[in-house]
């Protein structure tokens, strides 16, 4: 039977894969993949990795030396994989191209509603029997303009939620879907017209720091920013400066540029050494969640099924294609 080693696994993932593994052998480690931990894959036919594993050239060459033939991502993004080196080493790379778009889109909207209406602050106050309404004023979403960067399945789902609140929607995408009835505008126009900006695009060389210092100078005063995609889309230093200056009205962040080694881990006893993240988290107009936007039962089921289908297809165990 083909053996697969899962890196960076969590307790809520293992039961799903164990229940459906069929004629595969799955083993799990909590360690993230990098050039040092790649040796753990010796004797396995494939590895399964997640968003903060590092499949760079050095790691891939070590996987090749271990006999690994497949890198399977249990996520849609593959910015953490050196695709050119994988091809050079003859290692296939498969991913989950899509899962429940509602999971991420609904989390993005939940963060926006929470930050805007100060629900997180009200919750903490009332737990202490403080029922004051001071400093809890928000604004109506109705009639405001949402700028959506990236109009794939998740972006379109978020657009539907925005329209449900009566918002106007502007879109920007390097590959616009001209059949979707969306209003596409240049990025510069989206920045200065939008009351809310939400990122739903992949991290590539072209989109890295798509929101950098120049972009933050162009945004509408008081704009709220949402990022549930990849941290590298935003220049975190420029983001902090925009928050400190008051140009940015708030930020809802489910991802962070330097999240590897922090997100998915409990750092409550030790704190973090990332001064920039500490400053961002401390801002009263910022909400940070730890890359959990995808975390619904439906999305986890979709990811499990798609990953198992990738295993079966690659190793020739899909009866429908036999």
Tokens representing residue 169 in the block? 């929607």
Same domain, 204 and 150: yes
Same domain, 86 and 194: no
- Which one is catalytic: 95, 257, 259, 312? 259
Alpha helix stretches (DSSP H) within the chain? 14-18, 57-65, 83-89, 101-116, 119-127, 153-164, 187-193, 213-218, 236-245, 275-282, 297-314
Question: Do 211 and 248 contact (CB within 8 A), yes or no?
Answer: no
Same domain, 90 and 121: no
Nearest to 198 by CA among 253, 147, 130, 249: 147
What is residue 208's predicted lDDT score, i.e. its pLDDT?
A: 96
Instruction: Examine the residue annotation and report whether 153 is marked as an active-site residue of this protein.
Output: no
- Which one is catalytic: 13, 230, 257, 312? 230
Same domain, 59 and 178: no
Q: How many domains does the chain have?
A: 2
Nearest to 213 by CA among 247, 180, 165: 247
Q: What is the pTM of this model?
A: 0.91
Mean pLDDT of 241-251: 97
Quote the mean pLDDT of the chain: 95
Instruction: Examine the residue annotation and report whether 209 is marked as an active-site residue of this protein.
Output: no
227-236: b (≥16 Cβ within 10 Å) or e: bbbbbbbbbb
What is residue 298's predicted lDDT score, i.e. its pLDDT?
A: 96
Residue 180 is part of a domain; what is its CATH number?
A: 3.40.50.720
Same domain, 25 and 15: yes
Same domain, 79 and 129: no
- Which one is catalytic: 95, 172, 291, 312? 291
Instruction: Examine the residue annotation and report whether 291 is marked as an active-site residue of this protein.
Output: yes
**Residue 284 is part of which domain span?**
101-288
Same domain, 265 and 276: yes
Same domain, 224 and 151: yes
Same domain, 141 and 176: yes
Same domain, 65 and 113: no
Put the strands of the sheet holding 92-94 in their side by side order: 24-28, 2-6, 46-49, 70-73, 92-94
Q: List pLDDT tens digits, range 13-67.
A: 999 999 887 789 999 999 999 999 999 999 999 999 999 999 999 999 999 999 9
Same domain, 116 and 171: yes
């Amino acid at each position: 039977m083909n053996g697969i080693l899962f890196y960076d696994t969590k307790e809520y993932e293992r039961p799903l894969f164990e229940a459906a593994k069929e004629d595969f052998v799955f083993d799990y480690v909590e360690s993230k993949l990098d050039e040092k931990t790649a040796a753990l894959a010796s004797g396995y036919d494939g590895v399964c990795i997640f968003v903060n594993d590092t499949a760079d050239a050095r790691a891939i060459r070590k996987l090749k030396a271990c006999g690994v033939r497949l890198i399977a991502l249990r996520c849609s993004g593959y910015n953490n994989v050196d695709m050119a080196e994988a091809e050079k080493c003859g290692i296939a790379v498969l991913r989950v191209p899509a899962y429940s778009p509602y999971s991420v889109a609904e989390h993005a909207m939940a963060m926006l509603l929470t930050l805007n209406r100060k629900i997180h602050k009200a919750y903490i106050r009332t737990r202490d029997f403080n029922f004051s309404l001071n400093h809890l004023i928000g604004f109506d979403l109705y009639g405001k303009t949402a700028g959506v960067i990236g109009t794939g399945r998740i972006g379109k789902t978020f657009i539907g939620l925005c329209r449900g609140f009566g918002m106007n929607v502007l879109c920007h995408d390097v590959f616009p879907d001209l059949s979707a009835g969306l209003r596409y505008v240049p990025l510069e126009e989206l920045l200065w017209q939008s009351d809310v900006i939400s990122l739903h695009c992949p991290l590539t060389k072209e989109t890295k720091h798509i929101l950098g210092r120049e972009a933050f100078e162009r945004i509408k005063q008081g704009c709220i920013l949402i990022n549930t995609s990849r941290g590298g889309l935003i220049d975190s230093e420029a983001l902090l400066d925009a928050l400190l200056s008051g140009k940015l009205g708030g930020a809802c962040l489910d991802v962070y540029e330097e999240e590897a080694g922090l997100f998915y881990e409990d750092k409550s006893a030790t704190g973090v050494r990332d001064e920039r993240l500490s400053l961002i988290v401390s801002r009263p107009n910022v909400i940070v969640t730890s890359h959990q936007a995808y975390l619904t039962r439906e999305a986890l089921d979709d990811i499990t099924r798609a990953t198992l289908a990738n295993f079966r297809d690659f190793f020739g165990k899909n009866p429908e294609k036999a």
